[in-house]
Amino acid sequence: MTTQTSETARRVLSEPGAPVVVFDHVQLAFDDKVVLKDVSFTLVKGHTKIILGASGSGKSTAVKIIVGLLKADAGVVWVNGERVDQLTERELMAVRNDLGMIFQEGALFDSLTVRENVGYKLYEETDMPLEQVDRRVEEVLGFIDLVEHIDKMPSELSGGQRRRVAIARAMAFKPSIMLYDEATTGLDPITATTVDHEIIKLRDLENVSSIIVTHQLRDAFYVATHMAVRDKAGRVQITRATPEKERESEFIMLRDGLINFEGDADSLRKSTDPYIVSFLS
């Protein structure tokens, strides 16, 4: 029965428009503080979900629940056809093989070089031959234009470079879902744009489904309204997104543990809700 269900889930998930992350009436409180009252949303394969909200609104908590770093008090969470709210830490490891997460400040391992950080999962958790891991590390660092920093320690990198290395680390094992927790917070606009470009490139060129948690409106709208394409010479270009592509990015506004808004960039801009108007101003 379980095998049949898994096969059905796999078949459904392989189709375009499949729900890869489902958050169903999730609730979580820390002691007396209710962080998520009743939150439900679905991330469709290849699409982007941008979670906005003030500090403490539960944005980061939501992504941590998806990865299984936190357990919800109530509700159901599906990731790639698995109910992560019911899995043990050991069982979650298999689900995490297809999830890449970028933490606030990057969370690079201080004692490891850029190469060891990026290849961490492949070196430590797989049987992939070392030469192959090295090649993959150089490939992903090439993707984010940081190959020359491969043997540096994280402390030798700038804030923006650290975030990009964190993206490289999360993409090294080719996950199909990426979760960005405040990936551009604290960066200057120019550096933040380089990080935005990596998010867009991963989504459009590698077909990665993304959940972006941020309160940086500029970056949220930039990612939602731009797309990456390869020109005839194979160079990657970031251009204005087509209306169809723009609709693949959906915004969620969290407020007081509830979803205050859900819709595309255009609907968000046109919203007359006083909280959203003040948030966007």
Partner 1 sequence: MLRLVEKWAKQAAHEVQEYVYLTGSAFTSIFSRPFYRHDVVEQFDLIGFGSLTVVLLAGLFTGAALASQTGLTLDQFGARPVVGRLVSASMIKELGPVLTALMLTGRVGSGIAAEIGSMAVTDQINALRALGSDPVRKLVVPRVLAGIFMAPVLTVISDFIGILGGWAVARYQLQVSSSLYWASITKGLYMEDVWMGLTKPFVFGFLIATIACHVGLRTSGGTAGVGKATTLSVVAGSVAVIAADFFVTQLFVGLVYR
Name which position in 4, 15, 55, 90 contacts partner 1 (CB under 8 A): 90
Pick between residue 58 and residue 68 the one whose CB is nearest to partner 1.
68
Residue 148 CB partners (closer than 8 Å, separation 6+): none
What CA–CA distance (Å, rounded) separates 257 from 260? 9
Contact pattern from residue 30 through residue 69 relative to partner 1, giving x for each residue in contact according to CB under 8 A and a dash for the rest: ----------------------------------x--xxx
Name which position in 125, 145, 156, 188 contacts partner 1 (CB under 8 A): 125
Determine if 180 is a binding residue for partner 1 (CB under 8 A): no
Q: Is residue 213 within 8 Å of 63, Cβ to Cβ?
A: yes
Contact pattern from residue 135 through residue 174 relative to partner 1, giving x for each residue in contact according to CB under 8 A and a dash for the rest: ----------------------------------x-----
Q: How many residues bind partner 1 (CB under 8 A)?
A: 23
* Cα 155-97-159 angle, rounded to 5 deg: 20
Pick between residue 63 and residue 227 the one whose CB is nearest to partner 1.
63
Look up residue 117 and give its two tokens.
């950080």
Determine if 93 is a binding residue for partner 1 (CB under 8 A): yes
Look up residue 210 and give its two tokens.
């993304």
Measured N-to-C along each axis, helices 130-143 and 159-171 cross at an angle, to the nearest 10 degrees, of 130
What CA–CA distance (Å, rounded) separates 127 from 263? 43
Look up residue 259 and give its two tokens.
């979803």
Look up residue 134 and give its two tokens.
């090295």
Pick between residue 98 and residue 273 the one whose CB is nearest to partner 1.
98
Determine if 103 is a binding residue for partner 1 (CB under 8 A): yes
What CA–CA distance (Å, rounded) separates 171 from 122? 11
Residues near partner 1 (CB under 8 A) are: 64, 67-69, 89-90, 93, 96-97, 99, 101, 103-105, 107-110, 120-121, 124-125, 169
